[in-house]
Amino acid sequence: MADTAKSAKLTIGEQSYDLPIYSPTAGPDVLDIRKLYAQAGVFTYDPGFTSTASCDSTITFIDGDEGVLLHRGYPIDQLAGKSHYLEVCYLLLYGELPTAAELELFENTITRHTMIHEQMHNFFRGFRRDAHPMATMVGVVGAMSAFYHDSTDISDPRQREIASHRLIAKMPTIAAMAYKYSIGQPFVYPRNDLTYAENFLHMCFSVPAEKYEVDPILARAMDRIFTLHADHEQNASTSTVRLASSSGANPFACIAAGIACLWGPAHGGANQACLEMLKEIGSVDKIPEFIARAKDKNDPFRLMGFGHRVYKNRDPRATVMKQSADEVLDLMGVENNPILQVAKELEKQALEDDYFIEKKLFPNVDFYSGIILEAMGFPTSMFTPIFALSRTVGWVSQWKEQLADPQHKIGRPRQLYRGSVTRDYTDIESR
């Protein structure tokens, strides 16, 4: 906890209470209300916890007004432009960029743990073929605790390390298997001669009948999608992982809880919602009509993939993602894909429209990641699983940080109760 040299005075009736104020290295000051109930007998009320800090953290910082996203102090655009996903994983896990030797060892460790226990294949076959891949991932990741008993003791730092590496290494394999199962194709085993992103594309799109070569442009775009989604501070799914972890649950159960939360359309499903909107628009000639609807306050239609609840300026991840989107669309072409034609023209018109410029409704990372994944050939049902495997390192880093925090305790939010007061039970004959 940061040192405090300031305090605030809260007055309730005739009684006053001093609340310590902590100043972080970046961001607004924080009032410490931990002793408020014990001293004053009152709670605070904050639905959605939008004004409440639940933890100390040194991992990720966001300034939505300025469009800033930092991982361990490094701007996201620098990491996405100059680094790669596994190096960012190391940074998030350990706090510093690795040396060449440290990175080589880390990459080798992850690469050589990508296979899953062979018996876990039976789990996939227990699902219906039309099951959503996220449903499959929640079940399979939660079941990992039944197979990897040597990494479930959260009090053992070495076991926490092993669990962290296993989750990062095996999540692409699990996501790819969920995809293959949903389309009725055989599972493809990982290859140790491929990079993290190449291996995922290989497991998703190769088939036994012919050789598959991973295009370096697609691999780079995939790696950037992973990097740009690696962590995003105390969002809903990360907070879910931390809350689950606070009870002492094993790491696989905690990450499964994060996947379940991410599944929600208000969270991880944003890029899927964007593609569904593009399909609704349907053709380039209908774009002006839908832009007009988006400006109409009485029309429920909203342009998905524009603006961001956190970022009140440009999404700092979107600039890098736009570069990859342009590269992928140039490679794959948009001539035979009306959805991608709509996406390119909608981006152009929105960026030139005074209304969107004034409201700062710029294309965000979900807009660009959605059209990249569409161009690559992924169905929309795979968008959120890809998000989940990208975010795994963030969840794991936050989980490790919480377990190492001497202040951590089980989460127990309070409530503003508005129900009935004490009532006597009435026998059913008298009701």
57 in Cβ contact with 234 (< 8 Å): yes
Q: What are 364's two structure tokens?
A: 């965000």
Assign 408 to helix, strand or coil.
coil
Catalytic hit among 132, 308, 330, 405: 308
- Is the Cα dihedral 297, 302, 303, 304 positive or negative? positive
Tell the residue number behind the tokens 């993939």, with chain if given. Answer: 305
| Residues 156 and 164 sit within 8 Å (Cβ to Cβ) | no
Q: Is 285 a catalytic residue?
A: no
Residue 75: strand pairing partners: 70
**CA atoms of 400 and 406, how far apart (whole Å):** 12
Alpha helices in 121-264 (DSSP H): 121-125, 133-143, 157-182, 196-205, 216-228, 236-246, 251-262
Q: Rounded to whole angstroms, how far apart are CA atoms 195 and 214?
A: 10
Q: Is 113 a catalytic residue?
A: no
Q: Which residue bears the tokens 């991982």? A: 71
Element (H, E) at 78: helix 76-82
| Annotated catalytic residue within 366, 405, 408, 424 | 366
The candidate with the shortest Cα–Cα distance to 264, out of 237, 295, 241, is 237
Please answer whether residues 230 and 396 qualify as being in contact, where contact means their C-beta atoms are separated by less than 8 angstroms: no
> For the CA atoms of 63, 65, 68, 73, what is the dihedral angle to 10 degrees?
-30
CA distance to 352, 366, 411, per residue, from 383 (Å): 28, 10, 30
CA atoms within 13 A on the CB side of 219: 15
The torsion angle over the Cα atoms of residues 135, 140, 145 and 147, rounded to 10 degrees, is 170
d(CA 229, CA 388): 9
Active-site residue set: 308, 366
